[in-house]
Structures are given as structure tokens and as C-alpha cells.
Amino acid sequence: MACRLTKGVIGLVTMLAWFVQDDLHIPIDPSPMTDHPLLAAEPWPVPVKADPSERHLANVRQLTFGNKNAEAYFSFDGTKLIFQSTTDYGDGPQMIDQPRVGTSLGCYQMYVLDLQSRAVRRVSTGVGATTCGYFFPGDRRILFSSTHLTSPNCPPKPKIEGRYRWALDNYDIFSFKVDGQQPHRMTTTAGYDAEATISPDGKTIVFTSVRDGDLDLYAMNMDGTHVRRLTDELGYDGGAFFSPDSKRIVYRASHPKEPDAVAQYKALLAQNLVEPGQLEIFVMNADGTGKRPVTANGASNFAPFFHPDGRRIMFASNVQERRDGAQADKPKGPPTFHLHIIGEDGRGLEQVTFAGGFNSFPMFSPDGTQLVWISDRGAGARGEFNIFIADWVP
């Protein structure tokens, strides 16, 4: 990529970085799942050869095969994953490596995968779109956002007018039992309520909402009460996760400064749209005080998650392309995103993944020994993203 980012390049960068929020933006391959070259491989999970440069990753394994799979997060005991997928695994539990042949969905549904038994179960309603799943402490209930009360159909896509635009669909946050039963609606305000995660101490939920006219971060108690606003700077604040000690929050943000950018942001927000371009990583205290940037590199930085030591942060970024773009003889191609790790003080940036063109949404297992993330490495079709897991090597 060239060292300067044109509007068109930024649009493409952002489109790839935010693919999980737009259920149809990247075409879904309708071919049968059994056509995937690794699907019949044994044992499961399927071993994958790591790039030699990925020195922090050992025993890399692939968990899903085909379509789009995203935002896979561990249960508190580390034995399960909740994830969203356009693969139709049907209504009842079945084996993750035996999906319904040739069936893909128009938008994401939410699933829970037992890593020991291979059993996967849909925990969402099967209608509307879902996003951002997470386990409650004790792993008996899960939460995620869904549009199923608004419409049984997938939300419509916004028009593409030069730069990529992400629609702020009418999501609400719901809690369900881990088997998909006993739904409980946790937010009732109009508009976008999503991107919810839970503190390790089991006391607080953090989420993004437009309830006060901007895209800000909020916290609430575990039962949905005592909602309080954490951010108030104009622009997008979201994708938040707590530190291991539950005392800090890491998140991604984009705050327009120039008058034209401010006017554009407000105009799009009035249409329930946003153009997330440059995103930086921020940290704040759990009560919203002490906000400070971690990155300031001008790239698209997103999907941050604290390292188990509580002092470093892993995140996805195309910063390596901005850095390498100074090489005039470097071939141009689609933007790539890789996982990086950095100190909370903004020092010691290190690239973690090197294989594939998209690596994002990392999460460490509760005991810190494993990493799960989403990647297009080894994809069998355009627009395919799968779940990978690896042992973490310090």
C-alpha cells in the first residue's frame, strides 16, 4: 500500500476491518461446505502450519470451514466459544465439522461451541441479525445483540457511495440461557445497542449505544440497571473490553476534529450511518475517567483485547502496511490486517500474525495459554473467514 491513504483506499481498508458488522458486504460462497479442502480432515480441530514469523503461536488449529465466522470468545471456564456465523448449523446441537451441506445464511446467527465434544448449538432466534456474543460468569447464560424484534429479515445494506458506510441497525442486547432458551431483553432504547462485553469480576457490562445522540460507551449492572455513560467526545467509541483486573477498559475510537469531518459525521449519524476510517486504540478507567490513547499511527486499529499480564494489548491493524508502504518497489494489493501487541503505554509494538490477509478479533483464554482469533488464512473462497486457535508462546 502506498504511504498515503486515498479516500478509495481508506474505504477498502475500512470495509475489510468492519466486515462483521455488514452481513452481506462480502459475498458468501454458496457452494456446499463439503467442498472445503480441509473439511474432511481428521482429527478436529484441523492442524494448520503457522508462518515461521509467528513466533508467539504454536499448535495452530482451524475450528470452522467456510462462509463467514466471526467474534469467537471464550467462556469463563475456557471450554466453550460463543461466535457468530453465516453457516446454518440448524436448530439443534450437532457436530461443528458436520454442518448442513450447501446452506449459508444472509446474516449472522449466534452459536455456542463446546471445544471438547465438538457440539455446536444455535443460541439465537434464527431470525433477524445478531452480533457481539459473550458469556456471563458461570457460563450458564450468554448475551448478544439482535435485530429480531425489529424484523425477521436481515437488515438492508446501506448504499456504497465512495467510502464504506456501516449501518447502525436497531440492535438490542439480550440475555439467553446457554441453550438458547429463556430470553431476557436488557436494552429497550431505540437504535443501536451492541458491542457488549462483561468484566472478569462479573459486576459490569460495557456496551456501545446511540441513546444520547452519539456513538458512545456505556456501562450497566449485570441485570441491565444503573446505566451510566462513560464517553462523551464526539465520534465513535466502541469495541470495549475490560482488563483482567476489571479496573480498566480498552476500546477503539474515531473522533473527527476538522469542521468538515464533524459535519459529515453528524449528517451520517442522523441517517443511522457511520464511516469508520482511521481508528485508534484508547484505554480508560472502568468509571470512564483517565482516557488516554494507546496508538496514534493513523491506521485502522480495532478489536483490542488485554494480554493476561494486564500491561499489554493485542489488536488488529493495517499499521504494518503504512510502515512498509515507504518501499516504492513494494507491489500494491488489497489491504491486509494483522494482529499486533503493544504496551498500554504505547511502546513496544510487535506484529504477531503474518499469514493471510485478515487477522482480527483476538481473545486470550482465561488461563492465558491459548489465543483464539478470526482469519482468512487458507480460505477456500473469497469472503471466507474462519476461527483459529493456537497455544500462546510468551
pLDDT at 164 (0 to 100): 75
Beta bridge partners of 119: 95
CATH classification at residue 221 = 2.120.10.30
pLDDT at 3 (0 to 100): 35
Q: What are phi and psi of 210, to 5 degrees?
A: -105, 15
pLDDT at 36 (0 to 100): 57
Residues with Cβ < 8 Å from 4, sequence gap 6 or more? Answer: none
| pTM across the whole model | 0.89
Distance (Å) of CA 205 to CA 128, 129, 249, 304: 23, 21, 11, 17
pLDDT at 266 (0 to 100): 96
* Residue 100, in any domain of the structure: yes
User: For each of the chain's 394 residues, which pLDDT tens digit applies?
Assistant: 233 233 333 334 334 444 444 433 333 343 445 455 555 545 789 999 889 999 999 999 999 999 999 999 999 999 999 999 999 988 778 888 776 555 789 999 999 999 999 999 999 999 999 999 999 999 999 999 999 999 999 999 887 776 778 899 999 999 999 999 999 999 999 999 999 999 999 999 999 999 999 999 999 999 999 999 999 999 999 999 999 999 999 999 999 999 999 999 999 999 999 987 789 999 999 999 999 999 999 999 999 999 999 999 999 999 988 766 545 455 566 679 999 999 999 999 999 999 999 999 999 999 999 999 999 999 989 899 999 999 999 9
Provide the domain limits for residue 216: 7-392
Q: What are phi and psi of 294, to 5 degrees?
A: -100, -40
* Residue 1, in any domain of the structure: no
**Terminal-to-terminal C-alpha distance of the chain:** 31
CB contact burial 78-97 (16+ within 10 A = b; e otherwise): bebbbbbbbbbbeeebbebb
* Residue 114, in any domain of the structure: yes
Of 26, 5, 124, the C-alpha closest to 384 is 26
* Residue 230, in any domain of the structure: yes
pLDDT at 102 (0 to 100): 52
Residue 254 C-alpha cell reads as 474515531
Taken in order 21, 219, 197, 257, the sign of the CA dihedral is positive
Per the structure, the count of domains in the chain is 1
Residues with Cβ < 8 Å from 97, sequence gap 6 or more? Answer: 39, 44, 65, 118
Beta bridge partners of 238: 252
* Residue 126, in any domain of the structure: yes
Q: What are phi and psi of 163, to 5 degrees?
A: -100, 155
Residues with Cβ < 8 Å from 329, sequence gap 6 or more? Answer: none
Q: Please confirm whether the linkage preceding 30 is cis (ω < 30° from 0).
A: no
pLDDT at 277 (0 to 100): 77
pLDDT at 31 (0 to 100): 40
Q: What are phi and psi of 8, to 5 degrees?
A: -65, -40
Measured CA to CA, the distance from residue 77 to residue 196 in angstroms comes to 19
* Residue 2, in any domain of the structure: no
* Residue 290, in any domain of the structure: yes
Measured CA to CA, the distance from residue 315 to residue 305 in angstroms comes to 6
